[in-house]
């Protein structure tokens, strides 16, 4: 029997996946180490198949869409393309939003087929992942990173992808923890992505039953005689009601008692306990006594229903509606949403029993978008938005992942359970890693562009206009324009134009959205 | 690919080589050749003669179990409530026991690397110390401590950021007064002028072709100069710091006093910090996070997780002590703090859940060390906080305030900890 060696968030985690100094992601093939399988060629195929017709190839000029439309595109996608501007210009604000909210009608089959064909771990169960990759735990992690990057880049379901990032932070799990290489890929599928524009209580319940979350917050050893209150506390503080918002220390302890026995089938357990890597309720370890949570009595002998009841109680609290509404508005609208707006979105939650689509629609009303103030892109957003705008073909995703790592934003590797911050204060002081990523665009080994994009022929003004249209929808500042004119000057070459692209991606107005 | 530098490996090491080439082209190589390997190639004023200590603020994230880090070995409840994770008293047989610091407290085996610093009188343990607010939330507690509050208030900037705001720089021309080592700005430093987050001091430069580097930096400066904050200031600081750190050869840095920093994140951060302080470029404060202390499970202060964490902490601080003191640079004050302590009793997972009182460590040439400073509240049932935790008898702000006012030139009362009704006490942290 293998001894459990995990210690909650901040835990040192799986020795096979130790986080090397300097933040280079394990599993990101380094110099001299061949990529797993022939993944590089396969990824190029995915990119080609996934790119929708015409994306990145449009040569139209900047679209003079309304301020609200432009803000909506920036807020509701992972970065607008020239085609996105043209599309919203054609169909209008409301129709565009409807289309994104009704995401199942947006055909992403080409992308998903390619991903599933080339990244087989995306469809494997925890048991399969465990059995097949016990000696190569980085492969499922690497494939999940690549899929996350490629979906953000190429999926037509852009609002869905943007919300998936939001939920991955809301139910944040550090993939470097013990067992996470075979549990987090399943969690990502069954919690956030399964409900990204669905129903919040369902997502909450899925998370509570997710072995990845139970282990990450050490509920798997929460037992009747010695309750472990880690999960109970974060469930209320981070997943539902918000810190210091209507519950007491006694509630934390009582919730912990309700979740005693909520665990999983670990690889070191014998067969007969259910499928490896799945949720398991251990009746033996459950506290059968009566509990009282937030004033509500949970009668003795409830078994697994105690935890289910808690999820239900928490999902129906006004504090939960307020907390999720506030956080969602910070994500979709601005850092300081007004109380009035929070109330509206919270009401939408309460009225619909947590229907995320209704909340998102309320948050993204056109009137509101007009008053939204700029937010700072987080590094993942910066990278994806630049590649979407440029229509680049990612030749070496491991390099992109390396840049995300250097910027401190490799997906699913934030250690504490509160998710990557969504604040300018945290991210604005590390500009150098953004500029380094942008500089890598000068090197054709990371991303390949359509040759029309880095074409050095024609006047400087023409080249700068092209970059402005592609990356900034014609909103480039006079200062950036002047700096680019000077930089390109007389020395125009393909490399110099690519460096100029890097400068636009480094520019202050491109850091915001 | 023909014209620009080949960066096919995408690694910092390669880039440093190419930057060195750039220096040669730029004519700096001749100067560099006459200087000791790692020293800066610019002549700076002796900023460390300003009579102020360089502050190193270490936040141990997750909630340190103070009863394991500094064991109260005369307390019967400590042994009674911790059947599997207690550490035996100093007079026990076998290796898994406490090394006494005084008659009541001692270090577990993995903290003993710090005995030299302790015996030299440079290391102080402040026990039963911390944030008096009752919260058991990591995020709330860390926020209160980093902004410098005891209770929910409206502070946004960090106590160390405000310190930098309210004191003149030790080096008038300093372009970098403080750094946070990590991927983002720790709240502790928010508001500080000339302050940056840096992930690796040895690798802070602009990627890409060295031939176009100057042009690209010029363009970046021009694009950001008219922009709004926080991006404008961050860009200015970044561009200046690239030039500055380029002068220091961190990778060739040789610690003094036979100091050996462990090969860990924290060890590396402190080693490069030592090089940075000795380079004397006017850096006044460094903030570093060490994660991993939320030991709900398999805490194992003797053989488990906490043992490894404490080994890293103590070996790193001990190396820093050796290195700096052997270089006559004991004008530093390192403070280690954490958001809360942990329950007195162990939980069902051989770990401990969130508690209250914890401890702080202070190390520096002016620290009145070699002792455990405490107003020990006791561990009997009726002495516990909330019936389950070590109490707090020394406010964390008292410790920081004494260091900052006596050793960092912060003479404005209430600047760092403005909360109404709070008046910092001196406990004799500084000699």
Task: Output the six-digit token pair for B163.
Answer: 């310190």
User: Residue B49: its pLDDT value, please?
Assistant: 55
Kindly report, residue by residue over B221-242, the tens digit of the pLDDT: 999 999 999 999 999 999 999 9
Instruction: Compute the count of residue pairs across chains A and B with CB atoms less than 8 Å apart.
Output: 227
Q: Is B232 on the interface with A (CB under 8 A)?
A: yes
Chain A neighbors of B209, CB-CB under 8 A = 442, 495, 499
Locate the chain A residue with the closest alpha carbon to B289: A10
Nearest CA to A472 out of A385, A400, A407 is that of A385
Question: CA-CA distance, A249 to A23, in Å (whole number)?
Answer: 36
Does some domain include residue B303? Answer: yes
- Distance to chain A for B299, nearest Cα, Å: 7
Cβ distance A243 to B140 less than 8 Å, yes or no, reads yes
Does some domain include residue B217? Answer: no
Cβ distance A428 to B231 less than 8 Å, yes or no, reads yes
Question: CA-CA distance, B382 to B362, in Å (whole number)?
Answer: 30
Can you tell me the ipTM of this complex?
A: 0.88
Q: How many domains does chain B have?
A: 1
Question: CA-CA distance, A508 to A394, in Å (whole number)?
Answer: 24
Residue-by-residue DSSP string for A412-481: T---STT-S---HHHHTT-HHHHHHHHHHTTSTTTEE--TTTT---S-HHHHHHHHHHHHHTT---HHHH
Locate the chain B residue with the closest alpha carbon to A379: B183
Max Cα–Cα distance, chain B, nearest Å: 76
For the cut 80, the answer to whether the pLDDT of residue A18 exceeds it is no
Chain B neighbors of A376, CB-CB under 8 A = 231
For the cut 50, the answer to whether the pLDDT of residue B54 exceeds it is yes
For the cut 80, the answer to whether the pLDDT of residue A30 exceeds it is no
Among B207, B264, B268, which would you mutate to test the A interface (most chain A Cβ atoms within 10 Å of its Cβ)?
B207
Query: In the structure, how many helices (H) and strands (E) does chain A have?
Result: 27, 6
For the cut 60, the answer to whether the pLDDT of residue B36 exceeds it is no
Nearest CA to B253 out of B267, B269, B266, B272 is that of B272
User: Residue A138: its pLDDT value, please?
Assistant: 84
Q: What dihedral angle (degrees, nearest 10) is formed by the CA atoms of B399, B401, B407, B413?
A: -160
Contact A334, A256 (CB under 8 A): no
Task: Output the six-digit token pair for A12.
Answer: 């040192």
Among A253, A426, A432, A456, which would you mutate to test the B interface (most chain B Cβ atoms within 10 Å of its Cβ)?
A432
Chain A neighbors of B187, CB-CB under 8 A = 425
B363 phi, psi to nearest 5 deg = -135, 130
Q: E strand or H helix at B76, and its extent? A: helix B76-80
Kindly report, residue by residue over B396-414, the tens digit of the pLDDT: 999 999 999 999 999 887 8
> Who wins on pLDDT, A455 or A443?
A455
Task: Output the six-digit token pair for A237.
Answer: 């503080």
Among A3, A5, A10, which would you mutate to test the B interface (most chain B Cβ atoms within 10 Å of its Cβ)?
A10
Q: Is B11 on the interface with A (CB under 8 A)?
A: yes
CATH number at residue B351: 3.40.720
Put simply, the chain B residues between 158 and 217 with a CB less than 8 A from any chain A CB are 180, 182-185, 187, 190, 195-197, 199-200, 203-209, 212, 215-216
Residues A397-402, mean pLDDT to the nearest whole number: 86
Chain A neighbors of B309, CB-CB under 8 A = 12
Residue-by-residue DSSP string for A220-232: GG-BTTB---HHH
Q: Are strands B99-100 and B105-107 parallel, antiparallel or unpaired?
A: antiparallel
Question: CA-CA distance, B332 to B316, in Å (whole number)?
Answer: 15
- Distance to chain A for B140, nearest Cα, Å: 7
Contact B138, A236 (CB under 8 A): no
> How many C-alpha atoms does A328 have within 13 Å on its Cβ side?
35
User: Residue B2: its pLDDT value, please?
Assistant: 34
- Distance to chain A for B196, nearest Cα, Å: 6
User: Residue A9: its pLDDT value, please?
Assistant: 35
For the cut 50, the answer to whether the pLDDT of residue A103 exceeds it is yes
Confidence of residue A38 (pLDDT cuts 50, 70, 90): very low
- Distance to chain A for B100, nearest Cα, Å: 28
Cβ distance A431 to B292 less than 8 Å, yes or no, reads no
Q: Report chain A's mean pLDDT, rounded to a whole number.
A: 88
Question: CA-CA distance, B329 to B275, in Å (whole number)?
Answer: 11
Residue-by-residue DSSP string for B379-391: -SGGGSBTTTB--
Q: Report the percent of chain B where pLDDT is more than 90.
A: 73
For the cut 50, the answer to whether the pLDDT of residue A21 exceeds it is no
Domain boundaries, given as residue ranges, for chain A: 39-61+376-511
Does some domain include residue B18? Answer: no
Does some domain include residue B27? Answer: no
Beta bridge partners of B430: B367
Nearest CA to B123 out of B333, B307, B263, B266 is that of B333
Question: CA-CA distance, A300 to B356, in Å (whole number)?
Answer: 31
Put simply, the chain B residues between 293 and 312 with a CB less than 8 A from any chain A CB are 293-299, 305, 308-309
Locate the chain B residue with the closest alpha carbon to A491: B212
Beta-carbon contacts of A366 under 8 Å, excluding residues fewer than 6 positions away, are A68, A72, A93, A94
Chain A neighbors of B213, CB-CB under 8 A = none
For the cut 90, the answer to whether the pLDDT of residue A8 exceeds it is no
For the cut 90, the answer to whether the pLDDT of residue A7 exceeds it is no
Count the Cβ atoms, other than its own, within 10 Å of residue A426: 21
Among A15, A287, A429, which would you mutate to test the B interface (most chain B Cβ atoms within 10 Å of its Cβ)?
A429
Does some domain include residue B52? Answer: yes
For the cut 60, the answer to whether the pLDDT of residue B61 exceeds it is yes
Does some domain include residue B330? Answer: yes
Kindly report, residue by residue over A39-73, the tens digit of the pLDDT: 555 555 666 655 543 444 445 566 778 899 999 99
Residue-by-residue DSSP string for B320-352: HHHHHHHTT---EEEEEEES--B-SS--TTSS-
Question: CA-CA distance, A202 to A189, in Å (whole number)?
Answer: 13
For the cut 90, the answer to whether the pLDDT of residue A296 exceeds it is yes
Max Cα–Cα distance, chain A, nearest Å: 81
Cβ distance A487 to B219 less than 8 Å, yes or no, reads yes
DSSP annotation of A238:
I
Domain that holds residue B363: 40-205+246-407
Among B186, B293, B309, B349, which would you mutate to test the A interface (most chain A Cβ atoms within 10 Å of its Cβ)?
B349
Count the Cβ atoms, other than its own, within 10 Å of residue A444: 15
Query: In the structure, how many helices (H) and strands (E) does chain B have?
Result: 12, 12
Nearest CA to B319 out of B368, B362, B361, B269 is that of B269
Kindly report, residue by residue over A351-362, the tens digit of the pLDDT: 999 999 999 999
- Distance to chain B for A439, nearest Cα, Å: 5
Task: Output the six-digit token pair for A510.
Answer: 């491109």
Q: What does chain B come to in residues?
A: 431
């Amino acid at each position: 029997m293998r001894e459990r060696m995990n210690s909650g968030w901040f835990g040192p985690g799986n020795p096979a996946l130790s986080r090397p100094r300097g933040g280079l992601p394990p599993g990101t093939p380094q110099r001299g180490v061949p990529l797993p399988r022939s993944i590089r060629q396969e990824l190029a195929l995915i990119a080609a198949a996934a790119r929708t017709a015409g994306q990145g190839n449009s040569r139209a000029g900047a679209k003079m869409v309304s301020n609200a439309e432009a803000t909506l595109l920036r807020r509701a996608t992972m970065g607008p393309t020239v085609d996105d501007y043209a599309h919203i210009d054609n169909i209008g604000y409301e129709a565009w939003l409807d289309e994104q909210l009704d995401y199942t009608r947006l055909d992403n089959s080409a992308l998903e087929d390619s991903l599933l064909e080339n990244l087989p771990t995306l469809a494997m169960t925890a048991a399969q992942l465990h059995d097949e990759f016990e000696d190569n735990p980085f492969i499922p992690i690497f494939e999940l990173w690549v899929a996350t990057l490629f979906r953000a880049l190429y999926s037509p379901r852009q609002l869905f992808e943007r919300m998936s990032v939001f939920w991955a932070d809301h139910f944040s799990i550090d993939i470097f923890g013990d067992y996470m290489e075979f549990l987090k890929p399943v969690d990502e599928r069954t919690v956030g992505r399964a409900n990204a524009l669905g129903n919040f209580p369902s997502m909450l319940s899925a998370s509570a039953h997710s072995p990845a979350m139970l282990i990450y917050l050490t509920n798997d050893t929460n037992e009747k005689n010695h309750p472990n209150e880690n999960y109970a506390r974060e469930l209320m503080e981070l997943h539902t009601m918000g810190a210091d918002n209507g519950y007491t220390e006694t509630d934390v302890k009582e919730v912990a008692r309700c979740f005693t026995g909520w665990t999983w089938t670990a690889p070191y357990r014998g067969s007969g306990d259910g499928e490896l890597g799945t949720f398991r309720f251990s009746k033996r370890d459950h506290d059968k006594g009566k509990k009282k949570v937030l004033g509500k009595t949970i009668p003795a002998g409830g078994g697994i229903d105690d935890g289910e009841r808690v999820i239900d109680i928490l999902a129906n609290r006004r504090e939960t509606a307020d907390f999720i509404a506030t956080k969602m508005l910070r994500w979709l609208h601005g850092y300081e949403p007004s109380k009035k707006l929070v109330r509206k979105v919270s009401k939408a939650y309460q009225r619909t029993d947590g229907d995320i689509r209704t909340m998102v629609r309320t948050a993204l009303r056109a009137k509101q978008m007009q008053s939204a103030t700029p937010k700072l892109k987080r590094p993942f957003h910066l990278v994806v938005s630049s590649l979407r705008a440029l229509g680049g073909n990612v030749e070496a995703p491991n390099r992109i992942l390396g840049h995300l790592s250097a910027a401190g934003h490799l997906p699913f590797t934030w250690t504490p359970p509160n998710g990557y911050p969504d604040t300018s204060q945290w991210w604005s002081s590390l500009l150098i890693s953004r500029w380094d990523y942008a500089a890598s665009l000068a090197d054709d080994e990371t991303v390949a562009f359509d040759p029309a994009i880095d074409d050095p022929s024609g006047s400087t003004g023409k080249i700068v206009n092209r970059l402005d249209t592609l990356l900034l929808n014609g909103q480039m500042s006079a200062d950036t324009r002047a700096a680019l004119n000077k930089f390109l000057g007389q020395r125009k070459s393909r490399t110099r134009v690519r460096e100029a692209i890097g400068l636009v991606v480094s520019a202050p107005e491109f850091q915001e959205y | 690919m023909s014209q620009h530098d080949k960066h096919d490996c995408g690694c910092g090491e390669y880039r440093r080589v190419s930057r060195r080439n750039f220096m040669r082209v730029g004519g700096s190589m001749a100067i560099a050749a006459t200087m000791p390997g790692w020293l800066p190639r610019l002549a700076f004023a002796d900023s460390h003669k300003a009579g102020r200590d360089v502050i190193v603020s270490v936040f141990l994230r997750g909630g340190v179990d103070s009863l394991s880090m500094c064991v109260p070995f005369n307390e019967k409840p400590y042994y009674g409530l911790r059947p599997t994770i207690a550490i035996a008293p100093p007079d026990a047989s076998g290796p898994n026991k406490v090394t006494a610091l005084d008659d009541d407290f001692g270090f577990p085996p993995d903290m003993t690397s710090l005995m030299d610093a302790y015996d030299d009188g440079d290391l102080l343990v402040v026990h039963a110390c911390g944030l008096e607010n009752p919260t058991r939330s990591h995020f709330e507690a860390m926020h209160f401590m980093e902004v410098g509050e005891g209770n929910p208030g409206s502070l946004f900037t960090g106590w160390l950021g405000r310190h930098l705001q309210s004191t003149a720089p030790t080096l008038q021309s300093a372009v970098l007064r403080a750094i946070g080592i990590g991927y983002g700005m720790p709240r502790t430093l928010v508001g500080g002028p000339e302050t940056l987050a840096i992930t690796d001091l040895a690798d802070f430069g602009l990627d890409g072709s060295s031939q176009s580097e100057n042009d690209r930096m010029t363009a970046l400066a021009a694009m950001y100069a008219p922009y709004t904050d926080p991006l404008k200031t961050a860009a200015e600081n970044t561009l200046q710091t690239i030039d500055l750190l380029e002068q220091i050869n961190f990778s060739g840095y040789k610690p003094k006093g036979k100091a050996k920093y462990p090969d860990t994140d924290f060890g590396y951060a402190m080693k490069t910090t030592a090089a940075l302080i000795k380079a004397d470029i006017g850096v006044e404060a460094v903030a570093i996070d060490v994660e991993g202390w939320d030991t709900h499970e398999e805490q194992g202060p003797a053989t488990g997780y906490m043992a490894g964490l404490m080994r890293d902490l103590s070996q790193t601080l001990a190396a820093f002590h050796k290195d700096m003191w052997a270089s006559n640079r004991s004008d530093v004050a390192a403070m280690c703090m954490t958001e809360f302590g942990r329950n007195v009793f162990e939980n069902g997972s051989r770990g401990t859940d969130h508690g209250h009182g914890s401890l702080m460590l202070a190390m520096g040439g002016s620290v009145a060390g070699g002792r455990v400073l405490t107003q020990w509240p006791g561990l009997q049932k009726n002495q516990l906080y909330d019936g389950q935790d070590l109490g707090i008898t020394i406010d964390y702000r008292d410790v920081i305030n004494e260091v900052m006012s006596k050793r960092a030139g912060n003479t404005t009362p209430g600047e760092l900890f403005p909360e109404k009704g709070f008046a910092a006490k001196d406990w004799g942290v500084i000699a």
